[in-house]
Structure 1
Amino acid sequence: MDKMYIKDLEVYAYHGVNIEEKNMGQRFLLSIDLWLNLREAGESDDLTKTVNYAELCHNVEKEFTKAKYDLIETCVEKLAQYILLNYEPVEKVKILLKKPWAPIGKPLDYAAVEIERFWHRAFIGLGSNMGNKKQNLEEAMELMNTGTTRVIKSSNFYTTKPVGYTEQDDFLNCAAEIKTLLTPRELIEFLLNIEKDLRRERIVRWGPRTIDLDVLLYDDIITSLEEIIIPHPRMHERLFVLKPLSDIAPYVMHPVLNKRIVELEQEAVKTQNGDEIIDMLK
């Protein structure tokens, strides 16, 4: 991936724990590394195909000075999010913030913090078997497509048989690819809030629900977090997950099983004779 650099941009701002820092302000130095594809801009000599770093510097200064924060950690977090949300070509950003006048009562060149933030790629399984199922899935994706999470593509909708607790209505399932700035823990909390907004109640395990949102894959990571296990531990057994996921990501690799999604789908069809899938919604 190509990179663009901005080194030691000087900005006067009013951040700091001490009241004097917020009243008098001080000089800060910002260094920003951007990861993006510069090939098209290089071949076309077209400024619109890249990031205008002069404009970026002015906008960064405006963003950096519009509020007063106690911590420089907060400053860089807000700034990284601003850049990633407002500059579409940028896939990753690293920010080094130096505070040359840090009031610690000791001589030093500067105090500083540095962070890296980037867009993550994740796949979400969606299901509903209460109320207007199609509307529930569409509303869930609309709610996902806000702020720090964006829906990139979605699969066909499939009517499927319930698994586990079978005394309930058929499900409507789909899958969505998203890009997100959220960590896995933040993402699952975000999805749980969407389920709450869409009136999901957890009464019977695997029971009826207005909406069910599962993180299937997140980048290539493997976790054992109590809150969220990635990859989803049962996704390779569930044709109602694999069929829609194969619509949008057939060649994505399962990081544990080391097989492509389309291969896992084919194996599930042989094992289950395709019985979980009833029909594709036209």
Structure 2
Amino acid sequence: MDRIKIQNLEVFGHHGVFSEETKLGQKFLVNATMYTNTRAAGYSDDLEKSINYGEVCHFITGYMQNHTFKLIEAVAEHMAQAMLMEYPLLQKLDLEIRKPWAPIGLPLENVSVEISRGWHTVYLSAGSNLGERQQFLRAAVRLLQECSEIRNLKVSKLMETAPYGYTEQPAFLNGAIELETLFTPQELLIVIHKIEAELGRERVIHWGPRTIDLDIVFYDDEIVAESELIIPHIDMQNRLFVLEPLYMLCPGKVHPVLHKTVAQLRQELISKTQNKWSNE
């Protein structure tokens, strides 16, 4: 991805742990590397197709002057999020906040914090088999859309499927959701659990009936193996109700562990199921 760089932007701000720092203020230096696609702007010579670095410099200056934080870690975190939400063409950001002559009682040129933040592409599996199933699924999408850290939602068509695992329950409506988010995988898990709780999800029977079920299937190409979170979804390759809606959104998405596309996994599962039926 192409990069636009801002180096050593001088900003006067009031950030620090000590009261003198927040009252008197001091100079900070900001370095920003902005990841975007500059090809359209390069061919057209049209500033509207790129990120206006002049506007960004004024945005950074205004943000640091109008906010006060104790830690430069907090300055970097909050400002990075503000920038990513302000500029739609900004996909990723490397941001460094440098604090010259930090008051530690020793000769020091500067202290700095450098972070990388950006938008991540996520695919969710969504299902419901209690009550007004379609309304619950629509409500889940609406609640996701209301999160400022989530954008560009796309939703597959819904399909009705037989229950998986625990079969003594009503049929499901299933779909898939594509979105971009600033949340980490762990933060996104907390968000979707809150949405499930708000929509009446109760975790009583494993694989049991539910008003809404949201699972993270893919998060970029990341592999996460934690007690509460496994990405890619550990059993997606065996679930046609996951693969079929995903196929509508991202047939060419490659599973980072199995190294097969969603289209390949779907076709393999269909063939496996057909062979099973023919042998019975």
Output the TM-score relative to the length of structure 1: 0.94
User: Where does residue 271 of structure 2 map in the other structure?
Assistant: 270
Q: Secondary structure at the match of 2:224?
A: coil
Is 2:169–2:209's contact at 8 Å kept on the other side of the alignment? yes
Q: CA deviation at 1:68?
A: 1.2
CA distance, structure 2, for counterparts of residue 132 and residue 62 of structure 1:
48
Which runs of 5 or more residues in structure 2 are unaligned? none
CA distance, structure 2, for counterparts of residue 16 and residue 274 of structure 1:
67
Is 1:133–1:210's contact at 8 Å kept on the other side of the alignment? yes
Cα deviation code 1:150-188 (max 9, x no counterpart): 243211100010111111111000001111111111111
User: Where does residue 185 of structure 1 map in the other structure?
Assistant: 186
User: Where does residue 48 of structure 2 map in the other structure?
Assistant: 48
Q: Secondary structure at the match of 2:203?
A: coil
Is 1:268–1:274's contact at 8 Å kept on the other side of the alignment? no
CA distance, structure 1, for counterparts of residue 175 and residue 255 of structure 2:
18
Which runs of 5 or more residues in structure 1 are unaligned? 276-282
CA distance, structure 2, for counterparts of residue 253 and residue 208 of structure 1:
30
Residues 10-89 of structure 1: pairs in structure 2 closer than 5 A: 10-89=10-89
Instruction: Establish whether residue 259 from structure 1 lines up as the match of residue 264 from structure 2.
Output: no
Call closer, same or farther: CA 1:96–1:271 in 2, change over 3 Å: same
Q: Secondary structure at the match of 2:234?
A: coil
Q: CA deviation at 1:65?
A: 2.1
Output the TM-score relative to the length of structure 2: 0.95
CA distance, structure 2, for counterparts of residue 155 and residue 27 of structure 1:
50
Cα deviation code 1:178-224 (max 9, x no counterpart): 11111111111111111111111111111111100000011111121
Call closer, same or farther: CA 1:274–1:184 in 2, change over 3 Å: farther
Q: Secondary structure at the match of 2:197?
A: helix
Q: Secondary structure at the match of 1:252?
A: coil
Instruction: Establish whether residue 250 from structure 1 lines up as the match of residue 243 from structure 2.
Output: no
Is 2:129–2:173's contact at 8 Å kept on the other side of the alignment? yes
Residues 124-139 of structure 1: pairs in structure 2 closer than 5 A: 124-139=124-139
User: Where does residue 92 of structure 1 map in the other structure?
Assistant: 92
**Higher deviation after alignment, 218-227 or 205-214:** 218-227
**How many aligned residue pairs are there?**
275
One-letter amino acid matched to 2:200: R
Is 2:93–2:118's contact at 8 Å kept on the other side of the alignment? yes
One-letter amino acid matched to 2:167: T
CA distance, structure 2, for counterparts of residue 88 and residue 273 of structure 1:
45
Is 2:101–2:107's contact at 8 Å kept on the other side of the alignment? no
Is 1:27–1:101's contact at 8 Å kept on the other side of the alignment? no
